[in-house]
Structure 1
Amino acid sequence: MAQQQQQPPDGAVSAEPATEHSPLLNHVHVHARANGSPRSPSADAGPPANGHGAAVKHAAPADEEQARAHGDRGFSRAQVARIISVLLIGVFVANADGSLLMATHPIIASDFNELSASSWLITSFSLAAAATQTLYGKLSDIYGRKWLVIVAYSVFALGCAIISVGQTMWQVVLGRVISGAGASGMTTLVSVLITDMLPIREVAQWRSFVNIIATTGRSVGGPLGGWLADVIGWRWSFSGQVPVIGVAIVLCAIYLPGPNSAPAASTGTAAATPTSGDNSSTPLVSRKSKFSRIDFKGSFVFALMILALLFPMELGGVTVPWSHPLIAGLFVLSAALLAVFIAVERRAPEPILPLDIFNRDASFSFLIMGLQSAAQIGLMFTVPIYFKVTASVSNTSAGAHLVPAVVANAVGGVLSGLIINRSGKYKFLVIFAVACSSCGYLLLMLTWHGHTNWFESLYIMPGGFGTGIAQSAVFISLQAVVDPAHMAPAVAFMYLSSTVWFMVGLAATNAVLQTTLRRSLLRRLLAIGLDHAAIQKIIASAISDVDFVDRMRGAARTAVISAYVDALWWSHGVPFICSVTALGIAIFLKQRRIDR
């Protein structure tokens, strides 16, 4: 028979035993975070339960201030800062790796005489990250956040090592697949850990610092990768990441607390005693094999569904035309696999992605975040092309025009965190964020017509600023309505939805650009009297090489530039439509009260 726990005296905090269900540490105390949400136990329901059914008492009112000083899970601010600082190493490297690859993938592929396959260096990473994103959330619930972080770092380092020694193009692609599988955990688990450690009001503020480091990594990675490729070779871009990740693994092993190492609460209650493997006091569910609790069937079907959804977005318009039967077939297969996945998850005792997380406001949060991600990548894709064509600037200068949006993104994230921490309000921030972004994209459509001065070039700032605010505020809106027991898979799915919509936005923007550019070029070149053969040659060169316009002269050059401006106007409409749609959804979000 299970051993009875001794009840603590009034004013103390109950210390439940830590198990694999308590991923970071035991729940020292729980605040009522959101009236009417899963985080607000009703007053007449007896002692509130934690995310896994164990009773937990609130800290007594006299201890509230002291409890707040130690975070929502008994951590001091110094401990939180130290833990997050360690995790930021992985955030920086994972984001720097992505932009580093963008700068070096033509060089890498050319080394193997496979330039036509260079896109697979990017695609393979994205597909692997998307397929494994939600798996980390559930596995960290079973095995603990600390060990899954270490596993993610180790997998990423292994991928980098394989890339640095690869002797064929497809060995390097294999390394990218492995790196992508690790990087998805490196980014996802940071946000999950922050929600474990902090009160809901402070989560946005700390996540804004993560956003700054991620933005810095993306900014530094490209120039650094190009410099390394020029000076000592592209392989050093990846082998140099391995020792950095090695240091991060050691620091994680030292500073990240395991599930049985909860700090004592500030109220003086002793920390919970660790559970042993199979003693009689352990609940039956805790004695089950951890390995057997993994939802392998759901994981496999979900990964296939994501791959079937994303493959046509990568292949369409590049490898095969969008009208090819393969594209429609893959989309149909993805829909069928979604139905299979839902059926599997409904029967799974511990689903990899609990269907309970898809309540009304959580689904709205996923959609808003995804649409903002699609809008942002549409902006980032088109801006360098616009200035490259219309102003004949260098690649470096064209890329530098993105800096205002990147800086505004970081500023928006920080301000959003501060406002939520002070006010506890997030709905008005979400609405303001997507409205601000929509105005920015509209400004581009109204003013970027080929002669853009330095002040008008700053019109990309509202888009970046709004996205930065949305990333923090939407995360809080999700946390306010999802059962804490399901927070890890919910956060993982939010990252996944951003990844999926990121690829949707990129594919849609590129498709609109290519289609409208061809039509506008044909119309304008016919108007200046060129023959069919010359027109087809110019169109083929203009759509495949953005530098082609610099080698042109006369009326043909004017026609190509005008066609690009027209096509980019239509492509700016993709982020505008995405952001306006997000605005319409944001209006229907419910504001939940979030207490300190």
Structure 2
Amino acid sequence: MQNGNSTFHTETSPLLPKPDQHRNLSTHPVDASAGLVPEGADPYDETYEDGSDVEREAGAGEAVPPKQYEGLPDVQKKLKYIIPAIAIGIFLSAADQTIIISTYGIIGTDLKALNKTSWIATSYFLTLTSFQPLYGKLSDIFGRKPCLLFAYVVFGLGCLFCGLARNMSQLIAARAFAGIGGGGMTTVVSILMSDAVPLRERGKWQGYINIIFATGAASGAPLGGILADSIGWRWPFILQAPLCLVAFTAVFFVLKLPKQESSHWKVKLQKIDFIGALVLIFAVFSLLLGLDRGSNLAWKDTITIVSVAVSIPLFILFVLVEMFVASHPFAPGHIIFDRALFACYLCNFFSFSGWLAALFYVPMYFQVVDGMSATQAGLRLIPGVLCGVSGSLFGGFYMQKTGKYYWITVIAYSNLVLGLGLVFLFAGMIVNSTIGIILGMMICAFSNGIGVTTTLIGLIANSDQADQAVVTACSYLFRSLGSVFGVSICATAANQVLRLNLENALNSGEDAAEIARRVRQSLAYIKTLEPGVREIVRDCYGKSTRAAFTVSIVLVGGSAVFAWFIREKKLTR
């Protein structure tokens, strides 16, 4: 067995030059116990005196500027054809997320399980979380193109199963299956772009991809709401299946990549970290099960306690497996615990945990408290989505022009906290203002768009060229873990506050318990209540969503803190 902490890497990306072509890249093992930034050190790794491009290495004096990595010229020449081909999958990935956000209430009402709607997202992110880092290693083993095609097939089938689901359990299972494919639709594309484009240009191209992503996200919310309000919530899922077939066909014929060295399929299978993947799945599932049961049943429930308790040693076991057991880990210790990378990972974790949770509860607030339809709630997400892509483009062009990313990242994540603070205040804390909430979401989206782009470039800049596929995949691992954790913990807080407030506010009536139970299962039921009771219920829902926003603010605060520990390197390769 190879110790993941004892050697830096054993294999290179099949699309990249050999390691000796990048002699200026660090190849020293990293002490996993080291802090994020050494005592007395600043976050910068370079000097910029006289506008020089000289890199400062610890204890090594001045070095010759590293040669600019040129990417894959043949692939770059065909990007104008490749981008439209992969755009379909990117569009679907984005549209799927906002379709879900704008139709939670209708789905939960139709299936009479509104209190379980958070599992529509968490089940998807459960498998997406586990498979995203695997795609980094799998794309090194089997190639970028086969992994991307596999992702399209699985995601398309998963969407079809979602549309055919007859109850919430079937829908949750189908979403989990779709997540296996969803994990590759964005991860592999990001890895592919890192292969093809020089680092300093990477942020700009990421911005272009994010335009496609934003178009899908902006279209998904209103389209999902319109379809759900008219012909039913199942059709937004079903219609994605044939589009996945179109994406598969386009990529199959258009994307031509350099051939990698061939080996027997048994040899390739031996390089897959099955043990690590299984341990991670069980760890995440145990945590989510405990959080869900605690919020919907009771925190003293035996299964709740056991699930949460078991998840802790499972996460520890996952780290140990990746560091000391797996011969080809998909989350190796030298990549996870590298002090220059860990801060970026934590920024991704906390920003996505708070931001995605806010995206989940803002439409719910609009529908319940303000009485909007799913279509109206979805339309009010569009300004934020557009600001998100604007932020990503701004960050990309800023890095291309300056070659720096540290301070813009710090400012971006600080503004993310500010934006969510505005959402909290305008969601009934000081005043109920739809315009105020939209303004807060726009600030959040613009800031997160910058942060997600700059941290990705920071990760690639601080990693060995041969490790960039795994590093990129691990960044998606932390984003997905954050998303799962954020949605679950905010759902826990919201459900707990809703249940307690409903029980206290309705305790004078004979049917108080039944009303409290039914309003947590169906939004439509609220409209059947007497006006006085209806206002009480809406007020309780408002308090529960503010509880979710409070937790979201705390979570994104973590990204603002860890952004200060990011280490800057001049974008020269």
TM range (shorter): 0.7 to 0.9
| Structure 2 CA distance for partners of 1:398 and 1:300, relative to 1, 3 Å | closer
Matches within 5 A, 1:516-535: 516-521=497-502, 525=505, 531=508, 533=510, 535=512
Query: Who is 1:351 aligned against?
Result: 329
Query: Who is 2:288 aligned against?
Result: 310
Aligned-partner SS, 1:317: helix
Once the two structures are TM-superposed, the CA of residue 356 in structure 1 deviates from its matched residue by 0.7
CA contact (8 A) 1:128 1:177 kept: yes
| Structure 2 CA distance for partners of 1:451 and 1:495, relative to 1, 3 Å | same
Give the alignment partner of residue 330 of structure 1, picking from 278, 282, 307. Answer: 307
State the Cα deviation string for residues 367-398 of structure 1 (Å, max 9, x = none).
11111112212322332343344433333323
Query: Who is 2:567 aligned against?
Result: 590
Counterpart of 1:363, as a letter, is F
Once the two structures are TM-superposed, the CA of residue 176 in structure 1 deviates from its matched residue by 3.8
Query: Who is 2:448 aligned against?
Result: 467
Once the two structures are TM-superposed, the CA of residue 161 in structure 1 deviates from its matched residue by 5.0
Once the two structures are TM-superposed, the CA of residue 123 in structure 1 deviates from its matched residue by 4.6
How far apart, CA to CA, are the structure 1 residues paired with 2:197 and 2:59? 26
CA contact (8 A) 1:25 1:258 kept: no
Counterpart of 1:410, as a letter, is V
How far apart, CA to CA, are the structure 1 residues paired with 2:135 and 2:167? 30
| Structure 2 CA distance for partners of 1:537 and 1:143, relative to 1, 3 Å | closer
How far apart, CA to CA, are the structure 2 residues paired with 1:296 and 1:503? 21
Once the two structures are TM-superposed, the CA of residue 129 in structure 1 deviates from its matched residue by 1.9
Counterpart of 2:494, as a letter, is L
Counterpart of 1:24, as a letter, is L
Aligned-partner SS, 2:496: helix
How far apart, CA to CA, are the structure 1 residues paired with 2:312 and 2:141? 29
CA contact (8 A) 2:519 2:525 kept: yes
How far apart, CA to CA, are the structure 1 residues paired with 2:441 and 2:105? 28
Query: Who is 1:147 aligned against?
Result: 146
Counterpart of 1:510, as a letter, is A
Query: Who is 2:188 aligned against?
Result: 189
Query: Who is 2:85 aligned against?
Result: 86
For structure 1, which segment, 114-123 or 248-257, has the greater mean C-alpha deviation from structure 2 after superposition?
Answer: 114-123
How far apart, CA to CA, are the structure 2 residues paired with 1:41 and 1:72? 24
For structure 1, which segment, 162-171 or 188-197, has the greater mean C-alpha deviation from structure 2 after superposition?
Answer: 162-171
How far apart, CA to CA, are the structure 2 residues paired with 1:81 and 1:307? 41
| Structure 2 CA distance for partners of 1:73 and 1:172, relative to 1, 3 Å | same
| Structure 2 CA distance for partners of 1:482 and 1:327, relative to 1, 3 Å | farther
| Structure 2 CA distance for partners of 1:385 and 1:101, relative to 1, 3 Å | closer
Q: How many residues align?
A: 532
How far apart, CA to CA, are the structure 2 residues paired with 1:441 and 1:117? 25
Query: Who is 2:353 aligned against?
Result: 374
Query: Who is 2:273 aligned against?
Result: 295
How far apart, CA to CA, are the structure 1 residues paired with 2:250 and 2:306? 47
| Larger-Rg structure | 1
| Structure 2 CA distance for partners of 1:314 and 1:410, relative to 1, 3 Å | farther
| Structure 2 CA distance for partners of 1:312 and 1:206, relative to 1, 3 Å | farther
Query: Who is 1:512 aligned against?
Result: 493
Counterpart of 1:485, as a letter, is A
Matches within 5 A, 1:395-544: 395-449=374-428, 451-453=431-433, 455-457=435-437, 458-521=439-502, 525=505, 531=508, 533=510, 535-536=512-513, 539-540=516-517, 542-544=519-521
CA contact (8 A) 2:112 2:521 kept: no
CA contact (8 A) 1:357 1:483 kept: no
For structure 1, which segment, 464-473 or 572-581, has the greater mean C-alpha deviation from structure 2 after superposition?
Answer: 572-581
How far apart, CA to CA, are the structure 1 residues paired with 2:525 and 2:168? 28
| Structure 2 CA distance for partners of 1:432 and 1:42, relative to 1, 3 Å | closer
State the Cα deviation string for residues 127-159 of structure 1 (Å, max 9, x = none).
222222221111111121122112222222343
CA contact (8 A) 1:31 1:72 kept: no
How far apart, CA to CA, are the structure 2 residues paired with 1:480 and 1:573? 34
| Structure 2 CA distance for partners of 1:187 and 1:276, relative to 1, 3 Å | closer
State the Cα deviation string for residues 456-496 of structure 1 (Å, max 9, x = none).
24232211111111111111121122223222222222222
Counterpart of 2:318, as a letter, is F
| Percent of aligned pairs sharing the same letter | 30
How far apart, CA to CA, are the structure 2 residues paired with 1:164 and 1:535? 35
Counterpart of 1:80, as a letter, is L
CA contact (8 A) 2:133 2:473 kept: yes
For structure 1, which segment, 567-576 or 136-145, has the greater mean C-alpha deviation from structure 2 after superposition?
Answer: 567-576
RMSD: 4.0
CA contact (8 A) 1:33 1:595 kept: no
CA contact (8 A) 2:426 2:433 kept: no
Once the two structures are TM-superposed, the CA of residue 332 in structure 1 deviates from its matched residue by 2.7
How far apart, CA to CA, are the structure 2 residues paired with 1:239 and 1:399? 19
Once the two structures are TM-superposed, the CA of residue 451 in structure 1 deviates from its matched residue by 4.3
Aligned-partner SS, 2:78: helix
Counterpart of 2:196, as a letter, is M
How far apart, CA to CA, are the structure 2 residues paired with 1:111 and 1:549? 14
How far apart, CA to CA, are the structure 1 residues paired with 2:141 and 2:418? 44
Aligned-partner SS, 2:15: coil
Query: Who is 1:270 aligned against?
Result: none
How far apart, CA to CA, are the structure 2 residues paired with 1:316 and 1:121? 17
State the Cα deviation string for residues 279-319 of structure 1 (Å, max 9, x = none).
xxxxxxxx99223222333333333333333333444423x
How far apart, CA to CA, are the structure 2 residues paired with 1:323 and 1:537? 22
Once the two structures are TM-superposed, the CA of residue 419 in structure 1 deviates from its matched residue by 0.6
CA contact (8 A) 2:72 2:197 kept: yes
| Structure 2 CA distance for partners of 1:72 and 1:40, relative to 1, 3 Å | farther
| Structure 2 CA distance for partners of 1:439 and 1:254, relative to 1, 3 Å | same
More RCO (CA 8 Å, sep 6+): 2
How far apart, CA to CA, are the structure 2 residues paired with 1:115 and 1:556? 19
CA contact (8 A) 2:423 2:549 kept: yes
Matches within 5 A, 1:39-118: 71-75=70-74, 77-101=76-100
How far apart, CA to CA, are the structure 1 residues paired with 2:369 and 2:230? 32
Give the alignment partner of residue 570 of structure 1, picking from 535, 544, 547. Answer: 547
Once the two structures are TM-superposed, the CA of residue 412 in structure 1 deviates from its matched residue by 0.9
Task: State yes or no: 1:363 paired with 2:363.
Answer: no
Counterpart of 2:205, as a letter, is W
Normalised TM-score (structure 1):
0.77
How far apart, CA to CA, are the structure 2 residues paired with 1:171 and 1:500? 23
How far apart, CA to CA, are the structure 2 residues paired with 1:521 and 1:552? 14
How far apart, CA to CA, are the structure 2 residues paired with 1:27 and 1:42? 22
CA contact (8 A) 2:155 2:179 kept: yes
Counterpart of 1:469, as a letter, is I
How far apart, CA to CA, are the structure 2 residues paired with 1:454 and 1:367? 31
Query: Who is 1:127 aligned against?
Result: 126
Counterpart of 2:300, as a letter, is S
| Structure 2 CA distance for partners of 1:132 and 1:313, relative to 1, 3 Å | farther
| Structure 2 CA distance for partners of 1:198 and 1:540, relative to 1, 3 Å | same
CA contact (8 A) 2:25 2:464 kept: no
Normalised TM-score (structure 2):
0.79
Aligned-partner SS, 1:258: coil
Once the two structures are TM-superposed, the CA of residue 418 in structure 1 deviates from its matched residue by 0.9
Counterpart of 1:442, as a letter, is G
How far apart, CA to CA, are the structure 1 residues paired with 2:232 and 2:495? 34
Once the two structures are TM-superposed, the CA of residue 181 in structure 1 deviates from its matched residue by 1.1
| Structure 2 CA distance for partners of 1:240 and 1:534, relative to 1, 3 Å | closer
Structure 2 residue runs of 5 or longer lacking an equivalent are 1-9, 27-43, 47-53
How far apart, CA to CA, are the structure 1 residues paired with 2:11 and 2:352? 34
CA contact (8 A) 2:286 2:307 kept: yes
How far apart, CA to CA, are the structure 2 residues paired with 1:460 and 1:200? 30
Aligned-partner SS, 1:322: coil
State the Cα deviation string for residues 396-417 of structure 1 (Å, max 9, x = none).
3233332222221121111111
Once the two structures are TM-superposed, the CA of residue 199 in structure 1 deviates from its matched residue by 1.6
